[in-house]
Amino acid sequence: MLFKGCHKGLHTGRVGLPTHYTLPSGDKIPSVALGVWKARKSEVGLAVQTALKAGYRHIDGAWTYGNEAEVGEAIKASGVLRKDIWLTSKLWNTFHAPEDVEPALDESLQRLQTDYLDLPVAQNADSSLNVELTANPYPTWQKLEEMVEKGKIRNIGISNFNIRRIQNLTGNPLKFKPAVNQVELSYWNPQPELIQWAKENNLLLEAYSPLGGNGRVKDSLAIPVVKEIAAELGITPAQVLVSWQVQRGVLTKLPPALAEKLEKAAASHKPERSVDPGKNWGVDIFDERLE
């Protein structure tokens, strides 16, 4: 389980998180990323440089975040070699038409001051949703495969895809399978069915908002079972939640009994999405009315 977070010290300590995961291409993606969503242009540069100095080697951004140029400048100023940094970006819904894919990618590359992305993610989370390409993303995927062959990207990911949509995509003759599916995974929205399916089908999940997102971080860190486990292990509540997400995907990091205790607690309540922009746009981006 890959996840995005911004908590220092996640690579070390008793939880012993794995530092990388191997993708179908053979590339090794760092297990922890600094996500720069909502980071202001005046602040993101310092955040990126601080993270790189602290040992982070995975930066997760997007064209639509409006701060790619600042991220690129910060990486350049950090002194860390490009080959040692994993860059994830998003192909926004506005650019899912095949003729728009390469120009959008080139713009991100120029702003980030690099000639390739390690992982662009075809994202399904915007009011400009192309209904036809959302129902059938294969034309977009074929163009992204061309970008792999051109050397502009090295892997291809997806975001906010449920099982049905993944199967719809992978039912086509793909040259490159999805490397990562970036979805919301937290105590409030644990998605056990998707996690089990991903394990069975060898698809790495990347959790956004692993601490709750959209104003729920404080609530997440105050969950009684989380605080109890943190006290028992001598780590922070944030580290407990992060370790649990990693454990759910690949490796055991919390003692099994405590991980099972947290899993049961998360499954005991009705799932709640922290991030669902479709509510404001009248678009069912998660297909939940179909499930």
Please give the positions annotated as active site: 65
Judge whether 151 and 105 are in contact, CB under 8 Å: no
Query: Nearest-CA neighbor of 59 among 145, 42, 76, 173?
Result: 76
Q: Please spell the DSSP secondary structure of 67-125, one letter per residue.
A: -HHHHHHHHHHH---GGG-EEEEEE-GGG-SHHHHHHHHHHHHHHHT-S-BSEEEEE--
- 3-class DSSP state for residue 31? coil
Query: Nearest-CA neighbor of 31 among 155, 202, 206, 158?
Result: 206
Judge whether 161 and 245 are in contact, CB under 8 Å: no
Residue whose token pair is 């955040």: 47
Give the number of other Cβ atoms within 10 Å of residue 38's Cβ. Answer: 9
Query: Nearest-CA neighbor of 63 among 29, 17, 101, 32?
Result: 101
Buried b (16+ CB within 10 A) or exposed e, 222-240: ebebbebbbeebebbbbbb
Q: Is 256 exposed, middle or buried (0-12, 13-18, 19+ CB in 10 A)?
A: exposed
